Amino acid sequence: MASQGTHPACLFLALTLLVTTAATMILCSAILTNHWEVITFEKAEVEAIAAKHNATHTLTWLWGGKVGMVSIKLHQPLKLRRQDVGSQAYMGSRSHSLRFRRQTTKSIYLVPMHGGIWTLCVGLSVQEQTELQDRGFPLTGCLNYLSPHFAVNGEKNDWIQRMQNLSISCALVCCILLGASAVVGTFGIIKRQISAVLITGVMYILAATFGLFCLSIMHFKRKTKKDCGVLDSQVTPEYSSARVFQTGWSLDLGWGGVVTCLVAALLWLLLARIMRYNPISLS
Does residue 222 sit within a domain?
yes
**What is the model's pTM?**
0.76
pLDDT digits (tens, 9 = 90+) for 157-169: 567 778 888 999 9
Q: What is the pLDDT of residue 214?
A: 92
- Residue 283 to residue 53: CA distance in whole angstroms: 78
- Residue 37 to residue 164: CA distance in whole angstroms: 12
| Domain coverage including residue 118 | 2-41+113-277
CATH code where residue 31 lies:
1.20.140.150
**In the predicted structure, residue 148 carries a pLDDT above the cut 80:** no
pLDDT digits (tens, 9 = 90+) for 171-226: 999 999 999 999 999 999 988 889 999 999 999 999 999 999 999 988 877 665 55
Does residue 88 sit within a domain?
no
Does residue 228 sit within a domain?
yes
Question: Sign (positive/negative) of CA torsion 30, 32, 37, 39?
Answer: negative
Does residue 17 sit within a domain?
yes
Rg (CA), the chain: 29
Does residue 215 sit within a domain?
yes
Q: Considering its fold, how many domains does the chain have in total?
A: 1
